[in-house]
Amino acid sequence: MKTSSFASELPSLIIDQPATMKVPELLPPPDTMYRALVDRDSTFEGIFYVGVRTTGIFCRPTCSAKKPARANVDFFATPSEALHGGYRPCLRCHPMDPDKRPPELIERLRAEVERAPGGRLTDKELAALSIDPSTARRQFKRHYGMTFQAYHRARRMGLALREVRKGGRVDEVQSESGFGSASGFRDAFARIFGDSPTAAKKQGGLFAERIETPLGAMLAIADDEGLRLLEFVDRRAMEREMTILRSRLETNVVPGEHPHLTAIRGQLTDYFAGKNLEFTVPLAPVGSPFQLRTWDLLRTIPAGETRSYSWMAQKLGDAEMRRAVGRANGDNMMCIIIPCHRVIRADGSLCGYGGGLWRKKWLLDHERRFAKK
């Protein structure tokens, strides 16, 4: 399958901006956020987080704690930004709780999509449902990194791909997807997946799901071969990794369901709860032969233990390959599952981790605590 130019637009639709970048355009005006905080306005859930300088704690907009003075708050776009700002999560509103429900409006919009995934919801139709279109766009952009209309379009095309691959007639899939003409459906399908619906019957796309964890949101991407990517959404390398996947696999990424995504969501829940530190979801990493060898070696490091770059280089056949090993570790697209966080310096100190050293320390402490049980 060929990769279309449309593929270059996908990172901006699926991935959040890196948390280390300032993204004022994604946040409402400070006075608006403070008013929402005072009013505990639930429509701003997922839009911003507030750090309280006097306590060093960050909260959701709807937290029931006593409201701080305007001069004592900082606003952040993501929990990760707040953590990097030196704040710790509130124990009352649990802003990083992996089991928290999405904002009520997000759940309602998703329900409307699933009620008629092949249709379209215009701004006029949203207004008729008593949903403000601008609020819908803002909340969806904050929660998923994409607009509501982009989500609906991608969901519609993802369902179309699934039906085509199950053997559905193209004309029936076209009708169910809300397209009035065969040519319009073919063109839209090819823009996303790089080929016609008929050619796609034997070659699928990549399906993505956002997964909330105690360390921040992650993006999981899978196809029938296995899991292709699992990364924290604030990692700077995300866009480059997405480009590599689309280029090597010659297809595109859409939000959607897949058994491997269901599996990794459940296994991550068990991992963070300390119930099971092992992963059994099939993996299908994309990389060079040396990278694949390096990643296979990483998977032999037991949970609760660490190894050095020198150890890895020796195991790979050349003690002088430490830099190459470091680069391969940095190119790993399977955070936690291919445990590059278990590699440290020979002197025992922590070093380079794409997800941030604070996450590396957390993961190692977590594994040491539960691996002994």
Q: Which domain holds residue 108?
A: 104-118+132-201
Check whether residue 161 and residue 196 sit in a common domain.
Answer: yes
- Residue 317 belongs to some domain of the structure: yes
Which CATH number belongs to the domain containing residue 193 in this structure?
1.10.10.60
| pTM for the whole structure | 0.56
Of 164, 251, 163, 146, which Cα lies nearest the Cα of 209? 146
Number of structural domains in the chain: 3
- Residue 242 belongs to some domain of the structure: no
Which CATH number belongs to the domain containing residue 340 in this structure?
1.10.10.10
Q: Which of 59, 63, 90, 340 is catalytic?
A: 340
- Residue 188 belongs to some domain of the structure: yes
pLDDT tens, position by position, for the chain (373 residues)? 333 322 333 333 343 333 333 333 357 788 888 998 999 887 777 778 999 989 888 999 999 999 999 999 999 887 777 876 677 778 888 887 655 566 788 878 878 777 765 566 778 888 888 888 888 888 777 766 667 777 777 666 666 666 666 665 656 655 555 565 566 555 665 555 555 555 555 555 788 888 888 888 888 999 889 999 999 887 778 878 888 887 888 777 777 778 999 999 999 999 998 999 999 999 999 999 999 999 999 999 999 999 999 999 999 988 778 889 989 999 999 999 999 999 998 888 888 788 888 788 889 989 998 886 6
- Residue 314 belongs to some domain of the structure: yes
- Residue 144 belongs to some domain of the structure: yes
The residue among 185, 201, 217 that closes a domain is 201
Q: Which H or E element spans position 225?
A: none
- Residue 256 belongs to some domain of the structure: no
Query: Is residue 335 annotated as a catalytic residue, yes or no?
Result: no
- Residue 275 belongs to some domain of the structure: no
**How far apart (Å, rounded) are the C-alpha atoms in residues 198 and 242?**
25
Check whether residue 154 and residue 71 sit in a common domain.
Answer: no
How much is the pLDDT for 205?
A: 72
**What DSSP assignment string belongs to 336-371?**
TTS-GGGEE-TTS-----TT-HHHHHHHHHHHHHHH
**What DSSP assignment string belongs to 228-245?**
EEEEETT-TTHHHHHHHH
